[in-house]
Amino acid sequence: MTSSIPPRPDFFRERWLSLEGLWGFMFDDEDRGLDKRWFEEGLPDPVDIRVPYPYQSRLSGIGDEAIHPVVWYAKKFKLPEALRGGRVHVKFGAVDYKTSVWVNGRFIGEHVGGYSPFSFDVTEALGDENLMVLRVEDRHGDQARGKQDSRLKPKGCLYMRVTGIWQPVWLEGCGDAWVEGFQVFPCIEKRGVRLRLHLSGELTGLKLRVRVFLAEAEQASLVEEVKNRVLEVFLRLPEVALWSPEEPDIYTSEFILERDGETIDHVRGYFGLREVSVKDGRVLL
C-alpha cells in the first residue's frame, strides 16, 4: 500500500511518487552491514516493515521495543514515466537519527538529525529498476531526543524511543532548476505580503512567475527575472484576509520557474496572514 495523499500539501509538485509501504528491514546489532556491503545487492535476510512506522510501533509489522543501535532498510521500485526527463529528488520527512543513503549501490549522501526533513538529488543514480538502501544509526547517546526516553522502558512524561524512518518518503520530479522552499512575511499595514524564495539548479535565463489566490480568485501576480538563488518579492493584495480560528482564511500560492516559455518547475503552497508583535510587555495578535 502506498499513499495517494501528498506528503507536503503546503509545498506540492504534480510529479511525485510515494515510497511508503513495505520495505525490507534488518537489525544490525553487530554493525557488520557496511563490511558486508549490504548497500550493493540489498539485505541478506530481510523482514517486512511498513514505512513510515518505526520498528518499535506495532503498525510497522514488527513491534520490537528493544534497543537496536543500527538498522537497515531496502526498497525496490520502478521509475515511472512521469519522473523521467528531469531531475529527481528523494525526500524524507524525518529519519531518526543518522542516515546514509545508497541508490543502486551508489552512495547518495548522509544526514544527521532525527526531526528535520532532508532530500538528495538521485537523478544520476536512477535506472528503470532501482534499489534504495538506508543505514540508520540511533545509539541514544549524546544526541537530541526530544521527549524520547533513552531507557528501555519510558518513564513519566517521556515516550518510547523512535528509530529509523518515521515520516513520509517520496520522490519528486522537476527541471534543471527548482524552488527549494519559500517563506512568507505578512505586511498588514502595506496591505500585502513579502515572499522569500530559495532556488537551486541552473538559474540562467530563468523567470519566476508568482500568483496568489484567495478562495480560488486570483489576488495578485507578478513576473520577475531570476538573478540570485534567494529572491524576495512583494505583492499588494486588494484585501487582507487575516487568519483567525473563527475565520481561518488561507491564501494559495503558485510559483512557476520558466525558461524560454517552458515551465521548469511548478510548486503550489498555502499560507495564512497574521502579525504577532510585542508592545509594552504585551503580545499582540
The strand pairing partners of 227, in sequence order, are: none
**Percent of the chain beyond pLDDT 90?**
84
Q: Give residue 127's pLDDT.
A: 96
- Report pLDDT digits (tens) over 161-188: 889 999 999 999 999 999 999 999 999 9
CA nearest to 255, candidates 208, 185, 193, 194: 208
- Report pLDDT digits (tens) over 81-128: 999 999 999 999 999 999 999 999 999 999 999 999 999 999 999 999
More confident residue, 227 or 159: 227
CA distances 191 to 24, 73, 185, 281, Å, are: 53, 50, 12, 26
Contact predicate 178/255, CB 8 Å: no
Per-residue pLDDT band at 3 (split at 50, 70, 90): low
Three-point CA angle 138, 144, 148, nearest 5°: 75
Q: Give residue 144's pLDDT.
A: 73
Residue 243 has pLDDT above 90, yes or no: yes
Give the domain 177-284 fold: Immunoglobulin-like (2.60.40)
CB-CB neighbours of 257 under 10 Å: 25
6/160 Cα distance (integer angstroms) = 28
Q: Give residue 148's pLDDT.
A: 74
CATH code reported for the domain at 11-174: 2.60.120.260
**Percent of the chain beyond pLDDT 70?**
97
DSSP-derived pairing of the beta strands 262-271 and 251-259: antiparallel
Contact predicate 71/27, CB 8 Å: yes
Mean pLDDT, range 24-37, rounded to an integer: 97
Mean pLDDT, range 2-16, rounded to an integer: 86
3-class SS at 39? helix
Tell me what the pLDDT averaged over the chain comes to.
93
Contact predicate 262/239, CB 8 Å: no
Quickly tell me which residue has 513520509 as its cell: 168
> According to CATH, where is 2.60.120.260 located in the chain?
11-174
Contact predicate 133/101, CB 8 Å: yes
Per-residue pLDDT band at 139 (split at 50, 70, 90): confident
251-254 long-range contacts (CB < 8 A, ≥24 apart) are 251/193, 251/212, 251/213, 251/214, 251/219, 252/212, 252/213, 252/214, 252/216, 253/182, 253/184, 253/195, 253/210, 253/211, 253/212, 253/213, 254/209, 254/210, 254/211, 254/212, 254/213
Q: Give residue 151's pLDDT.
A: 73
> According to CATH, where is 2.60.40.10 located in the chain?
177-284
Element (H, E) at 38: helix 38-41
